[in-house]
Structure 1
């Protein structure tokens, strides 16, 4: 079974839970972003291209479900999935701290990127509110990543006997 078929239910469930349950919930003064963490963990396990595709699909789902500006979440999550996948392919795949570190850093980058994108589109955005909640949101993402990575590894595990060489060799 391909990575896309195994990853699609993860992205769908994370997007639905994000919009229906988590939206509006505050912990430590910030809203947890389960979809972003799922995309990051999925990209760490499967690579940059599946991460980018999952980010685009998840962002499009969220934009359609919330009736937001179509494409804003998609572009942010596509970039998040791609860069998390690149980190996983080059240095972070086998390290224990990789999911938490990637989720923390990409959550900060996505917050700043989201503010910038909304500003460039001419939409009203409070940079002060977004930047105040950026650090607590990144901490929540790092904590969520510790559990989500286990689910992603279990769902996206390769079949027995299948060997994949995806490590990038630096010359």
Structure 2
């Protein structure tokens, strides 16, 4: 219970800082995504369900604070949190570079997914701007992850490891 409250406070703070401070920072034509980094870190350490909940909550805060299309950030961050959590529960267990790889991959997927969602909503999408800003965005988010993944591990606890039972094959 305490871990869930800590994760919720961490995601809430990251969403507010993302909207109030980080969204005004422009580095190499892109903006770092602190909320995505925190959602992926929470998901990696606490699992897919916690990642999906953190992504939905953080995305909802960002959507309401920026008066954007309600649900776009929530959808993208929910999916990013879920898949980063699944990666942390399965393949990424016990690997030191896995959270940073998850941040890099989710940065690309959220950028592409956001372009697709906005295109489906009928908004104008500039694919050149997305493509040009993708590499700097990945580098910025991974640099943020270097600081925030250990902090998130400290705040919400070590990765949850579930024991798998042996499977017996019967003919």
Q: TM-score, normalised by structure 2?
A: 0.91
- Equivalent positions of 1:144-159 (< 5 A) are 144-157=144-157
Question: Match of 1:114?
Answer: 114
Counterpart check, 1:166 vs 2:151: no
Q: Is the 8 A contact 2:48 2:85 kept in 1?
A: yes
Question: Match of 1:75?
Answer: 75
Q: Is the 8 A contact 1:51 1:81 kept in 2?
A: yes
Alignment partners' CA distance in 1, 2:34 and 2:165:
32
Shift of 1:143: 1.4
Unaligned segments of structure 1, at least 5 residues: 159-163
Alignment partners' CA distance in 1, 2:102 and 2:113:
16
Q: Deviations over 1:39-75 (max 9, x none)?
A: 0011000000000000000000000000000000000
Shift of 1:168: 5.8
Question: Match of 1:125?
Answer: 125
Unaligned segments of structure 2, at least 5 residues: none
Question: Match of 1:19?
Answer: 19
| Aligned residues between the structures | 166
Where 1:37 maps in the other structure, the secondary structure is helix
Larger Rg: 2
Where 2:21 maps in the other structure, the secondary structure is helix
Q: Is the 8 A contact 2:11 2:35 kept in 1?
A: yes
